[in-house]
Amino acid sequence: MGIRRELGAAVQRTLDRHLRIGVTGLARAGKTAFITSLVNQLHHVGGHLEFFRAARDGRVLGARRLPQTRLQIPAFPYEDALEALYADAPHWPEPTRGVSEMRLAIRFHPRRSPLRYLGDVATLYLDIVDYPGEWLLDLPLLSLSYSEWSQRARQWYDAERRELAAGWLQELEGFDWLAPASDLQLGRLADRYTASLYAARERGLSYIQPGRFVMPGELAGAPVLQFFPALTLNDAALARMADAPANSAFRTLERRFDYYRRHVARAFYRDHFARLDRQIVLVDCLTPLNHGAAAVRDAQLTLTEIMRNFRYGQRDLLRRLFAPRIDRLLFAATKADHITADQQPNLTALLTDLMGEADRLPRFESVPVETLCIASVRASEQVQVSTGGSYHPALRGVLLNGQTATFYPGDVPSRVPDATLWEQHRFDFQRLRPPRIPPRTPLPHLRMDVVLEHLLGDKLR
Ligand SMILES: Nc1nc2c(ncn2[C@@H]2O[C@H](COP(=O)(O)OP(=O)(O)O)[C@@H](O)[C@H]2O)c(=O)[nH]1
Ligand SMILES: [Mg+2]
């Protein structure tokens, strides 16, 4: 009997699995809504998840929350989010900043169990990590010196960005890089620089470096976040800074930059990124369209930069530093319930075009990449309206002002629009309030079952 029980425990251990999934995306991309829906679907697991095979086959027995293992990381506020969404006056959960995580135990029947008589039940321990996509934009910093970073910044500071940064640039005029640094002056300049990054984000721009400056988490106000690129120095002037005295402003900024690189950017990669098994990147493609050409161009740049985080070969910097182990990558265009169903294929195509790698995706260093469009929480209904005898697709939902409306949100371009389209057309995709959801029913969604299959399916066989 004792032997049999020990054997049983050993088999149980081999049946059990672990998976750590990263959920990322820029601020407002939909991370909180996504994680809430994902966990909620797992709690209501059943036949309604048509493409999630283990659930459809009735092999998933249930999911329950476990205490997380990394105690220093804030817990994902799942209950708060549910409360907001299931309220009598439903509202979107409060935005969260920084990293949080959540641990689930999913019990399931494996399809082929080595010892059926043991009860045939295995557990998938699932860790879900929510972290800001902004932090992934710091990847380039890992391999750059302060001078190189400053040189690069000149490339992305176009006319629009310079205008947004006017206050900071003005203050930089006549700044003496060689004079001894005054903490007060550096602090003021850094504040102006940070303000210009927030202004850029307000304008719908997403390529923001260092990413932590607009998503500081627990580092808000710390001196490590008080530097900025030496944008007003040209190459010759930067070269002369090699002889700058140790107490000069330039050297002080350089030291802060190096500290940030080592202790903030690198620590993030080591402590969070390198530990993930799978990753989903959420992208709101509709908001940049609303903002116009510059925002879309910026989204393109940002996505390209974010994707570099996953393209690690044997000799790559990332591989050398941390050996990341991500084996599956999913890019999802969120809020697909803001458009009519006939436009959803365009939204997915637009995401792929923004990633700029359509033809290169399958060759991504052995990491399979999938793109799709989803609604974590579907806030609209697809309806038909008749005009002059013919029917057109439309949406019905509650606008943010509380009005229920039936409307046509407009077409989604399947590619990044060119200059002519921007001249003739303005996009105006409306945000919606979450729907009223009866208690004890799962959150309505679009394609969360496809996501579940892609992220978990093979671990539940
Ligand atoms: N209609 C709709 N809106 C969504 C959905 N997901 C997110 N949103 C909207 O996007 C906002 C930001 O979402 P949130 O999950 O807080 O983004 P986060 O900053 O990435 O965590 C929400 O307040 C909603 O207005 C969705 O599936 N459908
Ligand atoms: Mg959030």
Give, using CA atoms, the residue closest to atom 24 of ligand 1: 92
Distance of CA 301 to the CA centre of its chain: 15
What is the number of the ligand 1 atom nearest to the C-alpha of 282?
Answer: 20
Kindly state whether residues 221 and 323 are assigned to the same domain: no
Kindly state whether residues 231 and 345 are assigned to the same domain: no
Number of domains in the chain: 2
DSSP label of 112: S
Which of 372, 377, 306 has its CA nearest to residue 345?
A: 372
Is the distance from the beta carbon of residue 375 to the nearest atom of ligand 1 less than 6 Å?
yes
State which residues of the chain have pLDDT below 50.
Answer: 1, 117, 358-359, 362
Strands 328-333 and 100-108: unpaired
Is the distance from the beta carbon of residue 27 to the nearest atom of ligand 1 less than 6 Å?
yes
Is the distance from the beta carbon of residue 28 to the nearest atom of ligand 1 less than 6 Å?
yes
Question: What is the predicted pLDDT for the residue at 362?
Answer: 44
Question: What is the predicted pLDDT for the residue at 118?
Answer: 52
Domain boundary among 271, 300, 332: 271
Kindly state whether residues 318 and 185 are assigned to the same domain: no
Interhelix angle 293-308/344-355, rounded to 10 degrees, is: 60
Q: What is the rounded CA–CA span in Å between residue 229 and residue 227? A: 7
Q: Is the pTM of this model over 0.85?
A: yes
Q: Is the residue at 186 inside a domain?
A: yes
| Substitution site in 26, 80, 102, 334 for ligand 1 pocket (most atoms within 8 Å of beta carbon) | 334
Kindly state whether residues 303 and 447 are assigned to the same domain: yes
Question: What is the predicted pLDDT for the residue at 218?
Answer: 84
Q: What is the rounded CA–CA span in Å between residue 273 and residue 437? A: 35
Question: What is the predicted pLDDT for the residue at 357?
Answer: 63
Domain boundary among 271, 298, 315: 271
Is the distance from the beta carbon of residue 338 to the nearest atom of ligand 1 less than 6 Å?
yes
Kindly state whether residues 299 and 443 are assigned to the same domain: yes
Is the distance from the beta carbon of residue 297 to the nearest atom of ligand 1 less than 6 Å?
no
Expressed in angstroms and rounded, the spacing between residue 179 Cα and the centre of ligand 2 is 42
Give, using CA atoms, the residue closest to atom 6 of ligand 1: 30
Domain that holds residue 18: 2-131+276-378+437-460
Domain boundary among 271, 290, 307: 271
Give, using CA atoms, the residue closest to atom 19 of ligand 1: 28
Kindly state whether residues 28 and 78 are assigned to the same domain: yes
What is the number of the ligand 1 atom nearest to the C-alpha of 27?
Answer: 19
Question: What is the predicted pLDDT for the residue at 378?
Answer: 98
CA atoms within 13 A on the CB side of 440: 0
Question: What is the predicted pLDDT for the residue at 368?
Answer: 79
Measured in degrees and rounded to the nearest 5, phi and psi for residue 19 equal: -150, 135
Is the distance from the beta carbon of residue 92 to the nearest atom of ligand 1 less than 6 Å?
yes
| Substitution site in 32, 102, 290, 372 for ligand 1 pocket (most atoms within 8 Å of beta carbon) | 32
Question: What is the predicted pLDDT for the residue at 336?
Answer: 98
Is the distance from the beta carbon of residue 95 to the nearest atom of ligand 1 less than 6 Å?
yes
What is the number of the ligand 1 atom nearest to the C-alpha of 93?
Answer: 16
Kindly state whether residues 305 and 444 are assigned to the same domain: yes
Kindly state whether residues 103 and 54 are assigned to the same domain: yes
- 285 to each of 25, 64, 188, 300, 391, how far by Cα in Å? 11, 33, 34, 10, 27
